[in-house]
Amino acid sequence: MTSLPSGFHCHVANIGVKDHTDDFVVLAADRPVPAAGVFTKSRFAGPSVIVSREHLADPHAQAMVVVSKNANVANGPDGLADARELVAGVAGRLGCAASDVLVASTGVIGRRYPVERIRAGVAALPERPGDTSADDAARGIMTTDTFAKVASAAVAGSTARVVGIAKGVGMIEPDMATMIAVLLTDADIDASTLDATFRRVVDRTFNCVSIDTDTSTSDTAVILASGAAGTVDAAAFDAALHDVCLALTKMIARDGEGAETLIEVTVTGARDAAQAKRVAKSIVNSPLVKTAVHGADPNWGRVAMAIGKCSDDTDIEQDRVVIRFGGTEVYPTRVDDAGLEALGAYLRGEEVEIGVDLGIASATATVWGCDLTDGYIRINADYTT
């Protein structure tokens, strides 16, 4: 079991949003602490995103509440009022200001909270939550996830830890955040440093995962720092936070709806990091690349196609590009029949690496995704309002 960092407790319960499993999670510190968050840029952003953005104008928070299986999006003024009532209710139970409570919701869009059940769930929230299990909290925020996503790392040179939980397996193409992720640390980090570090790490991890090219209305990633373990080295904290976010990123990609194979795409030799990420995303997002991986077909032509779609990058020249599956070059070097058979066996593994060198400069980026299966279609065809 992974415990929360010192200075944090949680409350996990079923309040009737889901039929049988936990659907209501509150993660709380003993007092307002430095906090930061990044959110979707969707023009249909949900009330949870709106309220949390408002509350982080002062970069401190004491609690995070997550409602699972109901996104509370596209419900007009009623949905916003419901979110504010939820936050105020949690704040009242914890004895803090409503502005010190952040909120995230995930699930079906266009359906209001079951307000009476929410009220009853809030009324049952202990004034001082007593659970310290990150695993319990991670299970409580799941929707179509097949396993709870938890990661932790020690901050070198200190007793501080970083612990993260996340949910998300579909509607994932992040835009300054992704899915729902909550990171907690007992390192003593000031609000400004926490925000800058978090945004930098998110851009290298959560913003590098894609399941289906669809950006959620509810994307939220937040971090709170209790300070209970004292000051830490900034570089060591950055490294620990990166390790946790990267682990969660790979879990999300591996657990993509219907997924059977984790795809890692690395682009090197790019003009700059933005170009490298753009090309890598074009590859990992391609339905034809995804289905080729699913079918264990080493069809490098589909990778070439995905690179070529980046038509605004006029410095990409096909005679300088190198494409690899695993460590095997497939373009421009030709692969014989025996090599193709070996590549087919490689593509049947649980993880597939696709490498592309653009031959322009020295920038690089790595992104993660998954194959496209009939299971993805079935899950989303049956996922209804």
Q: Catalytic residue positions?
A: 178
User: Taking the CA atoms of the chain, what radius of gyration do you get in angstroms?
Assistant: 22
Q: Which residues contact 154 (CB under 8 A, 6 or more apart)?
A: 160, 161, 240
Amino acid in the structure at residue 159:
T
Q: Count Cβ neighbours within 10 Å for each residue of 186-214 and write b for 16 or more, e otherwise.
A: bbbbebeebbebbbebbebbbbbbbbbee
Instruction: Indicate the length of the chain as a whole number.
Output: 385
Per the CB < 8 A criterion, the answer to whether 5 and 185 are in contact is yes
Distance CA 12, CA 65 (A): 10
Distance CA 221, CA 241 (A): 13
Residue 188 is classified by DSSP as B
Distance CA 340, CA 256 (A): 27
Residue 351 is classified by DSSP as E
